[in-house]
Amino acid sequence: MLSYKEEKMKVYFAFSIRGGSPDEEVIQTVYRLLKDMGHEVTTEFNINWKKRERYMSDEDIYRRDVEALKKSDIVLAEVSKPSLGVGYEISLGEKLGKRVVCLAKEGIHLSAMINGNPNLDLISYKDKNDLTEKLLRFFNKI
């Protein structure tokens, strides 16, 4: 049986959308885990991004995402696929004083701007089960 820490957070979950197709299985795994733990995912609108973003202007997407990031307690970014947008969100989160956690599949050669940044937490994972276990441990200790 999984146990969760009582404190609930607002989580900004960033992942590559236009920079490369996201790993749907990983995205859904993280999203479901966060919801199961009782956290609010402030970027819930991105989970069905294919349907929604085609009806929005770039300016509207920018404003929506920045507002969601400002309201969040923590930024969780899947960085296995390079993405200018995710990099921007990580930087903005850091600038706003948010805790930023990057998730990357083991063996991925990350940018030095991510890998070398002492202000970021980095969680490397083998597969969705390993990622689930590591995220549970992470959220239960913060």
What's the total number of domains in the chain? 1
From the list 91, 47, 99, 49, the residue with the least C-alpha distance to 66 is 91
Residues in the chain: 142
- Number of Cβ within 10 Å of residue 112's Cβ equals 8
Q: Which domain holds residue 119?
A: 10-141
Q: Give the pLDDT confidence score for residue 6 in this predicted structure.
A: 67
Tens-place pLDDT, residues 77-106:
999 998 999 999 999 999 999 999 999 999
Q: What is the CATH number of the domain that holds 74?
A: 3.40.50.450
Burial group, residue 11, by CB count within 10 angstroms (0-12, 13-18, 19+): buried
What CA dihedral angle connects 114, 37, 135 and 62, to 10 degrees? -20
Residue 1 lies in a domain: no
Residue 131 lies in a domain: yes
